[in-house]
């Protein structure tokens, strides 16, 4: 009612007090990417610890004289950047729940080992940044201990829910129930769902009574009293039960109001097909393209292809020799694929299957433990080495480094008839690696194609240089931990 005063929330204790004092966790959208605010703050804190580790290493090694640091400002900053990039590659800045403690410590250790190699290379290329071996060893040890300690402290003191915004779902029907199914188990969600509100727009109730919340007067009062950060509208039929004024009051009081499809997109990194409607694609943020973005992307593709070709040619030579000794010629094979805007091109790959893998001429899906895969093929597939000749396709402009996986024309025709919005994935160039390849295992069926399409649509919608860079760094995690290959 007009003039009604809000009731001050009761004083919080323990973990809730810490959350209230620091502020409610939120989500930022930077360069079209969803980034959890606490993860951003964690990265800033770890960056400062890494910078401090360099000064500490020099202080210990040279009895308090930090002037010995190569470039007193740029060396610590470069050290912090290299280590944090390696941590991104190990999946340590993934939004949402963090890995289990042991896995987290192993990944931090692997990050520092990789960073040691890269830092040594950096010192060789830029001698002005050089720091003595003793100082660097102390700095690396200090950085590892301080970062591990910080993350273990966060686990012990504030718990995982500190890193998740508090969400109230408006709706208790089928769409709201799907929200639980899609976002997965509680330890995999990016947000903390507090409860569900019944709506007259729900066809039927699909939520347990224990998870239903009732508010006595106004929704905004309940949200303020319970420190809700976001309200997700998941009503089965909005025409019958959308509380426009109540949601508007919440929005004007600083709460985020999100529809179910956008929430799914942010939580899972994919666009939920059974909730997708054309107007959402037309009016939502994303799907933007411009000539500058295309030019930057093409420049990056050419530069990275040349560098990767120079670095990996000995590996490619060994792979070719292994295939030749194991199964004879040909070492490479070319196959027609559908590319940008539906244009066809021939993809280059190392042959990982028997020569007569499709002797009847009918395209077949790859299967788990596929009998057609050779001994060498099984190894190079596991480490994605069979993809290396696609560098030539990137140089020619048929592909980018990052993008949806290029599929065969036969499969595209079949899937386009059965899966809505399938051809929309061709709005960007296909890639050697991609968002779907990171998030979902190798596709081997129509159902797998549907799941991967949801990730591809997310990539098409949110395509940016930052997202491409994140995917490339996380691809290193996939290769090192051998996930997703078949």
Per-residue pLDDT tens digits for 34-46 = 666 777 888 899 9
pLDDT per residue over 17-68, tens digit each?
A: 333 333 334 556 665 666 667 778 888 999 999 999 988 988 888 766 655 5
Residue-level pLDDT at 8: 35
Read off the pLDDT band of 16 (50, 70, 90).
Answer: very low
What is the rounded CA–CA span in Å between residue 475 and residue 89? 7
Q: How far apart are CA 245 and CA 131, in angstroms?
A: 62
Bridge partner list, 431: 400
What are the C-alpha distances in Å from 403 to residues 129, 298, 339, 432, 442? 35, 13, 10, 7, 15
Pick from 194, 112, 185, 95: which is nearest to 148 by CA?
A: 112
Task: Quote the CA–CA distance of 344 and 338 in Å, as a whole number.
Answer: 5
Residue 412 pLDDT grade (very low, low, confident, very high; cuts 50, 70, 90): very high
CA distance 268 to 435: 12
Q: Is 188 exposed, middle or buried (0-12, 13-18, 19+ CB in 10 A)?
A: exposed
Which has more pLDDT, 407 or 443? Answer: 407
Least confident of 28-32, 45-49, 95-99, 394-398: 95-99
Query: Domain coordinates of the chain in residue numbers?
Result: 26-160, 164-268, 291-481
Question: Measured between alpha carbons, how far is 206 from 193 in angstroms, rounded to an integer?
Answer: 16
Tell whether the torsion through CA atoms of 395, 319, 405 and 334 is positive or negative.
positive
Closest to 50 in 3D by CA, of 148, 150, 142? 142
Average pLDDT of 246-273? Answer: 88
Q: How confident is the model at residue 100 (pLDDT cuts 50, 70, 90)?
A: low
Q: Report whether 405 contacts 440 (CB < 8 A).
A: no
Q: What is the fold, at CATH topology level, of the domain defined by 164-268? A: Rossmann fold (3.40.50)
Per-residue pLDDT, 397 = 94
Residue 224: strand, helix, or coil: helix
CB 354 within 8 A of CB 435: no
How many helices and strands in the chain, by DSSP H and E? 18, 10
In terms of pTM, does the model score above 0.85? no
Can you give the C-alpha Rg of the chain in angstroms?
Answer: 26
Cα(35)–Cα(29) distance, integer angstroms: 6
Q: Distance between CA 383 and CA 435 in Å, rounded?
A: 17
User: Helices in 3-100 by DSSP H: which ranges?
Assistant: 14-22, 37-61, 74-89
Mean pLDDT is lowest, of 10-14, 77-81, 457-461, for: 10-14
| pLDDT at 159 > cutoff 80 | no
Q: Residue 264 in contact with residue 455, Cβ under 8 Å?
A: no
Both ends of the chain: CA-CA distance in Å?
Answer: 60
């Amino acid at each position: 009612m007009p003039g009604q005063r809000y009731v001050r929330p009761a004083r919080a204790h323990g973990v809730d007090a810490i959350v209230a004092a620091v502020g409610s966790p939120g989500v930022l959208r930077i360069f079209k990417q969803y980034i959890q605010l606490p993860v951003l703050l964690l990265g800033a804190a770890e960056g400062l610890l890494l910078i401090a580790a360099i000064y500490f290493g020099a202080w210990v090694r040279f009895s308090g004289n930090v002037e010995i640091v190569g470039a007193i400002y740029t060396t610590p900053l470069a050290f912090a950047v290299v280590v944090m990039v390696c941590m991104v590659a190990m999946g340590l800045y993934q939004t949402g729940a963090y890995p289990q403690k042991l896995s987290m410590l192993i990944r931090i250790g692997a990050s520092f080992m990789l960073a040691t190699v890269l830092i040594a290379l950096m010192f060789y290329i830029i001698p002005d940044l050089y720091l003595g071996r003793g100082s660097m060893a102390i700095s690396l040890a200090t950085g590892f201990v301080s970062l591990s300690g910080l993350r273990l402290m966060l686990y012990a003191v504030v718990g995982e829910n500190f890193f998740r915004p508090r969400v109230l779902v408006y709706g208790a029907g089928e769409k709201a129930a799907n929200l639980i199914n899609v976002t997965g188990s509680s330890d995999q969600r990016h947000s903390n769902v507090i409860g569900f509100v019944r709506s007259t727009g729900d066809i039927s109730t699909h939520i347990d009574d224990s998870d239903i919340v009732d508010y006595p007067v106004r929704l905004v009062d309940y949200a303020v009293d319970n420190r809700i950060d976001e309200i997700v509208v998941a009503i089965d039929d909005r025409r019958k039960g959308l509380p426009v004024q109540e949601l508007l009051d919440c929005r004007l009081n600083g709460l985020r109001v999100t529809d179910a499809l956008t929430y799914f997109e942010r939580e899972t990194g994919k666009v939920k097909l059974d909730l997708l409607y054309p107007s959402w694609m037309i009016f939502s943020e994303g799907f933007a393209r411009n000539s500058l973005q295309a030019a930057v992307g093409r420049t990056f593709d050419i530069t990275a292809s040349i560098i990767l070709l120079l670095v990996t040619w000995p590996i490619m030579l060994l792979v070719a020799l292994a295939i030749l000794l194991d199964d004879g010629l040909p070492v490479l094979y070319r196959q027609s694929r559908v590319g940008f805007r539906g244009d066809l091109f021939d993809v280059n790959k190392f042959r990982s299957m028997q020569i007569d893998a499709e002797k009847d001429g009918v395209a077949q899906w790859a299967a788990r433990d596929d009998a057609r895969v050779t001994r060498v093929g099984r190894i190079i597939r596991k480490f994605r080495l069979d993809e290396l000749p696609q560098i030539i396709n990137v140089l020619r402009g048929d592909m980018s480094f990052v993008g949806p996986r290029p599929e065969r024309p036969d499969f595209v025709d079949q899937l386009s008839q059965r899966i809505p919005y399938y051809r929309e994935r061709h709005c960007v160039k296909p890639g050697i690696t991609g968002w779907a390849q990171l998030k979902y295992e190798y596709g081997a069926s129509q159902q797998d194609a549907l799941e991967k399409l949801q990730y591809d649509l997310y990539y098409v919608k949110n395509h940016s240089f930052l997202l491409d860079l994140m995917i490339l760094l996380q691809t290193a995690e996939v290769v090192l931990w051998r996930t997703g290959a078949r």
